[in-house]
Structure formats: C-alpha cells, structure tokens
Amino acid sequence: MEYFTTTSKPSKRAVDCVIVGIFDRGKLGVAASDIDSASKGEIRRLIKSGDISSELGHCAVLTRLAGVKAARVVVVGLGKTSALGARQFRKAVAAAATAIGKTRAKQVLNGLTLETAAKTSHYYLARHSAEAFGEMLYRFNQMKSGRQPAGSPLKKIGFAIAKKTDAAQTIRGAKHGDAISTGVSLAKDLGNLPANVCTPSYLARTAKKLASGNAKLTSKVLNEAEMKRLGMGSLLSVTAGTVEAGKLIVMQYKGGGEKPVVLVGKGVTFDTGGISLKPGLGMDEMKFDMCGAAGVIGVMATVAQLKLPINLVVVVPTVENMPSGTATKPGDIVKSMSGQTIEVLNTDAEGRLILCDALTYSRRFKPAAIIDVATLTGACVIALGAHRSAVMSNNDALRTELVAAGERAEDLAWPMPLGEEYAEQLKSNFADMANIGGRPGGAVTAACFLEKFADGLTWAHMDIAGTAWHSGAKKGATGRPVPLLAEMLLSRCRALP
Ligand code: BES
Ligand code: MN
Ligand code: ZN
C-alpha cells in the first residue's frame, strides 16, 4: 500500500474517494464542512432530509458531487459531538473502508484525520486508518476453487492534514499500521487454514520462509528426538497420540544490543482433547488452537517489516492433540524439562503441557521479559468474552505494560490474578502437580500452572481463547493480539512518538 499526506482541501483533490464525517446534531466535521461549501450545501441538505446519519459507523456513498473533484464522497457518522477519540475514529474508518471496499476506488483520501486529535495523535490516527483498511482488504480464499470475486483494487491511502508539520508522524503511523496489518493478516491466514494443511510442519515451514532472505532473522526447528534429549516429557506427552510430528520452532530476530523479549505461542494445530475427547459440536473451531503461535509469528513479521532496533525471540511449541492407542491417558505422570512431574488428569488441558517445556527451554535466551500467548481455557471465554484477552503476570509492571499497550493499540486486554490460593487447586496426590485445577477459576489456575515454570523470569501469560477468533456467521481468525504485542515492542524501543 502507498500512503501520502496532503494539506490541500479535500474538495480540491481529484482522488477516487474522500472520507468525511458528521457528528450528532447536524455538526459537520472539518472535511465535511469543506465538501458542503464546495457542493453548495449538499451535505447539510442530505442531513436535513434524513438521507445520511450521524450515528457512529453509518455510511453513505455520494457520487459526482458538483464542485467536488473526488469521484466519490463517503460520509460517515461520527456519533456524539466531542473530540474524536481513537476508538470512535477507528470504528468510523472501518465502516468507511467497508463501504469503499464495495466500490472500485483505487485511491482514497481520509478527511477524518483533520478532526481534532486531542484524545489521540496524528500518529495513531494514521496507524488505525492503515490497520482498518488492511482489515477490509483481507481475504481468505485460498481453499476455495474457481474464480473468486475481485477484491478491492485500493492502492493508495491519503491523509488530510492541517499543517505540513503533521506529515512525518502521519506517515510513520501509516507505515507502522501497514506492518501491523502484515502481521495480523499472516496470523489470520495461519488461524483460518484447516488443520489438515496447517500442521506443525506447516508452521515450521512458514517460520523458515519468513526468515529466509532476512539477515537479522534466523529460524530453527527442533524435532521430537531433539526435544526428547532435552527432557521435554511434558510436551511430548501431548504429541504421543498422533502421527503428525511435534516441533519446537525457534525464531531469533537480532536488531539491537539488549536482552530479548521472548514470545511463546501455543501451537496446537488441532485439539480434539485427546483421550479426554471434546464433544463433537463445534469441534472444528479447535483448528484455531494454534492462534497463539500465529500471533507471535505475526508479530515477528511486523518487527521484521519495520526492522525494529530490538532483539526478539519467538518460540512455538507445536503439536496435534489426538486420541489413539499410543495417546497419553488420564492419570499418566510425565516429567517436564524443568524436572517437575505432572499428573495428566485431563488430556484436554494440553496447552499448558507444551507451554511449560517451551518456557523452560526459553531460559537460555536470558529474556528481559517472556510472554506466552495461548488459546488456553474455555474459562477465559466465560470470564471476559470475546472483547478482552486476559493478562496474568508475576510482575506488576509487565502486566500493566501489556494492558496499557492493548488500550493504545485498540486490542484490549484485562488483568487477572495469580495466587497461592488458586495454585493449591493444582495439587496432585502422586506428582508435583496436576494439569487441571477444577472448574472454578479455570483461566487463573491454568496461569498458575505456567507460573511454576517461570520462577525467576519476568513473565506474563495472555489467554486469548476468547479474542483470537470469531465464532458464528463471521467465523474466522482475528489476528489478535498482534496489535497489542506490536505496540508493546514499539514502545519498548521508543519507536512511538
Ligand atoms: N484449546 C482449549 C481451550 C479453548 C476452549 C479455547 C474453547 C477456546 C474455546 C484448551 O486446550 C482446553 O481444552 N482447555 C480445557 C481445560 C480444562 C480441561 C481444564 C477447557 O477450557 O475446557
Ligand atoms: Mn484442550
Ligand atoms: Zn487446546
């Protein structure tokens, strides 16, 4: 995508489309007001006749307005009259982008960036715009046969700015948004692919492909024999029932001098539950059980595109969880790489079994911070729904940092506790711990399990079971939490304005 800024009036640019906004009670936004004067009151007339609405996200596409150079004007409702906040802005741009996606517009000029940026900044307005257009342009057609309907031909996104000095931050925001969009799209592709295509080996190949031709990025893949030598009995117990070989993918990006941030992503390419088999209804959605892996690989793609001056390691334990004659059975006791033993009371609590060994392995990178990302518990979906990811941490500052990054990135998260009282639920009569802690506080006890492997590390856990994909009619991966994690890394390397 190409991006540009302009200080000329939106009515004077001969683009395929301009976006303008109107607030409640007949208040026109800056660009709408310009279009209104140029067209001799057309916008006000349409508001009066009730043909365009100021309700947030409502859109009308006007074509060939007299006095306006652009071929189309998309008028989008901005809602209440007040300084436009980032959330409101993003929702409005997303709606306008959807409307524009149904036209043949090749270039668009966003006039909404002229509204007061009091609650946000030129950087974030441009970034949210680029992300919203990326969202609109995303298609997943690779598994469909035959010719697919042509997508939007959009090639160029412009931003109206009031003064030339706003240009640098605007373009910076757009470039960052573009890179985040790259990461989100990759994460969505990996999530949406079916489990018969997106296997552990497929994820490994994807990592290798991302690293090839990038001098700062290397990737290596450990096979089951190598993991066995490292003592990863917990991870390997999950892969015991399947013919697909489990892998440990390790990607290292070296762009700076400091200790790395390590991101660990749960890569269960299909979760049947194993011998503790899941019910059949909706089981297809367990192809999304590698969305933690997809998210951290996506973040790596974002970081590589921006060539950020940081060190980042991505570790992906990836397996398929299947029942069979060789599968792990409830009650089996396995030994993790840390030496701690685990009684596998439920083979469906497999995410933690692969993550714990990946956490132990990751100690070798001496991480400044280590964050695991996982579609870990149904309990998290009950607690927070599809709106916010859960964040648990043994470090208050890291937890706060992640939640705050989510607010700025419009990729929301919420803190959840850890604690001895919850950890007690994991007691086992036969091993150092059990892999389940009962139904009460299921998202928290899962995190407490992982905490036992993060001793001495600055560690956080993100449960994205509710946020990583949409169910129902809009079924599909969301690419979350790529924006949150990218924001965290951008602010760590002071790449934000
Ligand atoms: N992958 C699931 C978690 C999940 C369930 C994510 C539904 C999204 C929607 C995970 O491996 C799992 O099965 N967790 C169990 C844990 C339980 C056995 C302690 C769960 O949440 O039911
Ligand atoms: Mn499971
Ligand atoms: Zn799972």
pLDDT in tens, 215-265: 999 999 999 999 999 999 999 999 999 999 999 999 999 999 899 999 999
Q: Whose CA is nearest to atom 22 of ligand 1?
A: 378
Residue 288 has pLDDT above 70, yes or no: yes
CB distance 291 to ligand 1 below 6 Å? no
User: Could you tell me the residue range of the domain that residue 300 belongs to?
Assistant: 182-493
Q: Ligand 1 pocket: which of 266, 342, 377 to mutate (most atoms <8 Å of CB)?
A: 377
- 176 within some domain: no
Looking at the structure, do residues 130 and 205 belong to the same domain, yes or no? no
Nearest atom in ligand 1 to 437's CA? 19
Looking at the structure, do residues 108 and 211 belong to the same domain, yes or no? no
State how far the Cα of 393 lies from the Cα of 352, in Å rounded to an integer.
15
- 228 within some domain: yes
Nearest atom in ligand 1 to 435's CA? 19
CB distance 15 to ligand 1 below 6 Å? no
Residue 497: predicted pLDDT: 85
Q: Which helix (H) or strand (E) holds 445?
A: helix 442-451
- 187 within some domain: yes
Return the ligand number nearest the Cα of 445: 1
Looking at the structure, do residues 284 and 348 belong to the same domain, yes or no? yes
Looking at the structure, do residues 186 and 156 belong to the same domain, yes or no? no
Looking at the structure, do residues 219 and 284 belong to the same domain, yes or no? yes
Q: What percent of the chain has pLDDT over 90?
A: 96
CB distance 16 to ligand 1 below 6 Å? no
Strand runs (DSSP E) across 164-272, as ranges? Answer: 217-222, 247-254, 261-265, 267-271
Q: Which of 289, 299, 282 is closest to 199 using CA atoms?
A: 289
Residue 486: predicted pLDDT: 98
Distance 349 CA to ligand 2 centre (A): 5
Distance 344 CA to ligand 1 centre (A): 14
Looking at the structure, do residues 60 and 197 belong to the same domain, yes or no? no
- For the stretch 179-216, pLDDT in tens is 999 999 999 999 999 999 999 999 999 999 999 989 99
The residue type found at 137 is L
Residues annotated as catalytic (active site), given as ranges: 278, 352
CB distance 465 to ligand 1 below 6 Å? yes
CATH label of the domain that carries residue 45: 3.40.220.10
Distance 377 CA to ligand 2 centre (A): 8
State how far the Cα of 22 lies from the Cα of 29, in Å rounded to an integer.
5
**For residue 224, how far is the Cα from the chain centroid?**
29
Number of domains the chain contains = 2
Q: Which of 337, 362, 316, 351 is closest to 238 using CA atoms?
A: 351
Instruction: Select from 113, 129, 161 the last residue of a domain.
Output: 161
Looking at the structure, do residues 367 and 474 belong to the same domain, yes or no? yes
CB distance 466 to ligand 1 below 6 Å? no
Looking at the structure, do residues 155 and 238 belong to the same domain, yes or no? no
Looking at the structure, do residues 379 and 455 belong to the same domain, yes or no? yes
Which band of pLDDT confidence, cut at 50, 70 and 90, is reported for residue 166?
very high
Distance 377 CA to ligand 1 centre (A): 4
Which band of pLDDT confidence, cut at 50, 70 and 90, is reported for residue 495?
confident
- For the stretch 421-449, pLDDT in tens is 999 999 999 999 999 999 999 999 999 99
Which band of pLDDT confidence, cut at 50, 70 and 90, is reported for residue 117?
low
Residue 120 has pLDDT above 90, yes or no: no
Residue 83 has pLDDT above 90, yes or no: no
How confident is the model over 342-348, as a mean pLDDT?
99
CB distance 275 to ligand 1 below 6 Å? no
Which band of pLDDT confidence, cut at 50, 70 and 90, is reported for residue 133?
very high
How confident is the model over 264-272, as a mean pLDDT?
99
How confident is the model over 451-472, as a mean pLDDT?
98
Instruction: Select from 161, 194, 225 the last residue of a domain.
Output: 161
Which band of pLDDT confidence, cut at 50, 70 and 90, is reported for residue 142?
very high
Q: Ligand 1 pocket: which of 348, 380, 428, 436 to mutate (most atoms <8 Å of CB)?
A: 348
Which band of pLDDT confidence, cut at 50, 70 and 90, is reported for residue 367?
very high
Which band of pLDDT confidence, cut at 50, 70 and 90, is reported for residue 317?
very high
- 312 within some domain: yes
- 170 within some domain: no
Looking at the structure, do residues 186 and 70 belong to the same domain, yes or no? no
Residue 62 has pLDDT above 70, yes or no: yes
CB distance 351 to ligand 1 below 6 Å? yes
CATH label of the domain that carries residue 465: 3.40.630.10
Q: What percent of the chain has pLDDT over 70?
A: 99
Instruction: Select from 161, 191, 221 the last residue of a domain.
Output: 161
Q: Is the peptide bond before 279 cis (omega within 30 degrees of 0)?
A: no
Yes or no: say if 219 and 207 are a contact pair by the CB < 8 Å rule. yes
Yes or no: say if 221 and 233 are a contact pair by the CB < 8 Å rule. no
Distance 6 CA to ligand 1 centre (A): 50
Residue 118: predicted pLDDT: 64
- 296 within some domain: yes
Looking at the structure, do residues 155 and 192 belong to the same domain, yes or no? no
Q: What is the mean pLDDT of the chain?
A: 97
State how far the Cα of 297 lies from the Cα of 180, in Å rounded to an integer.
12
Looking at the structure, do residues 131 and 200 belong to the same domain, yes or no? no
Residue 31 has pLDDT above 80, yes or no: yes
How confident is the model over 284-304, as a mean pLDDT?
98
Phi, psi of 163 (to 5 degrees): -140, 150
How confident is the model over 287-293, as a mean pLDDT?
99
- 469 within some domain: yes
- 334 within some domain: yes
- For the stretch 400-414, pLDDT in tens is 999 999 999 999 999
Yes or no: say if 96 and 72 are a contact pair by the CB < 8 Å rule. no
Yes or no: say if 410 and 127 are a contact pair by the CB < 8 Å rule. no
Distance 291 CA to ligand 3 centre (A): 10
